[in-house]
Chain A
Amino acid sequence: DGGITQSPKYLFRKEGQNVTLSCEQNLNHDAMYWYRQDPGQGLRLIYYSQIVNDFQKGDIAEGYSVSREKKESFPLTVTSAQKNPTAFYLCASRTTSGGTQYFGPGTRLLVL
């Protein structure tokens, strides 16, 4: 099956701990994105990457970090500097030629 996978579905973070959310796609898409969604709100862009080994900050990058070492993978690390990390995190991808982004199933991060 082609698509975008995110793991885990639920993730718990302790205070002061860094956690990494996985995003993998086998659609051969060049660009990948990370969004944060809070209850009753729209999607806010954290980071995005248009090609391997390159990424740009979105609107709310503080407290997050990413890497893009492989075309298929775009992991997001929520660092201890992110003081309010509880949210639903969505990964998306698209081809460079098309405007449509396709989303993964999401990871819900909760702070213990």
Chain B
Amino acid sequence: GQQLNQSPQSMFIQEGEDVSMNCTSSSIFNTWLWYKQDPGEGPVLLIALYKAGELTSNGRLTAQFGITRKDSFLNISASIPSDVGIYFCAGQRETSGSRLTFGEGTQLTVNP
């Protein structure tokens, strides 16, 4: 199945810095989701976006559904050590039923 193009693949930052990651596709999506996965655990939903242009926050996290419906970004402000993990974007297309397409993930490392 088609993968979303997620970038960057990895990030190494200092505690307190802001982080930005994004996903792009050549296809149109009607839902964008952002998950975080800790080592050895299942992904946990961070933010869900259902409308083009939508900007949603969850604490220090902010995500946007691109106006073209082909991209989304996630920002983390004032990073802390517990932000370490893998962040995945996922999109649902109108033609795919309930199936999601996943990005390959962004590995985030936060140095104290």
Binding site for B on A (CB under 8 A): 4, 6, 31, 40-45, 48, 50, 58-59, 88, 90, 92, 94, 96, 99-106, 108
Q: Which residues of B contact A105 (CB under 8 A)?
A: 41-42
Pair A108/B97 contact, Cβ less than 8 Å = no
- Name the residue on B nearest A10 (C-beta): B40
- Name the residue on B nearest A91 (C-beta): B42
Which of A94, A102, A106 sits near B98, CB closer than 8 Å?
A: A94
Interchain residue pairs with CB less than 8 A apart (15)? A6-B42, A31-B98, A41-B104, A42-B6, A42-B102, A45-B100, A48-B98, A58-B99, A99-B92, A100-B33, A101-B100, A103-B35, A105-B42, A106-B42, A108-B40
A88 to B40, CA, bound (A): 8
Q: Which residues of A contact B1 (CB under 8 A)?
A: 44-45, 58-59
A77 to B92, CA, bound (A): 26
A42 to B101, CA, bound (A): 10
Is B66 an interface residue, CB under 8 A from the partner? no
Size bin of chain B's contact surface: 20 to 34
Q: Which residues of A contact B99 (CB under 8 A)?
A: 45, 48, 58
- Name the residue on A nearest B1 (C-beta): A59
A99 to B54, CA, bound (A): 15
A96 to B98, CA, bound (A): 8
Which of A42, A44, A48 sits near B88, CB closer than 8 Å?
A: A42
CB distance from B22 to the nearest CB of A (A): 15
A14 to B87, CA, bound (A): 33
Q: Which residues of B contact A88 (CB under 8 A)?
A: 40
Q: Which residues of B contact A103 (CB under 8 A)?
A: 35, 42-44
A88 to B38, CA, bound (A): 13
CB distance from B107 to the nearest CB of A (A): 8
- Name the residue on B nearest A59 (C-beta): B1
A45 to B92, CA, bound (A): 13
Q: Which residues of A contact B45 (CB under 8 A)?
A: 100-102
Is B3 an interface residue, CB under 8 A from the partner? yes
Among B1, B30, B31, B98: residue with most chain A CB under 10 A: B98
Interface residues of B in 3-37 (CB under 8 A from A): 3, 6, 30-31, 33, 35
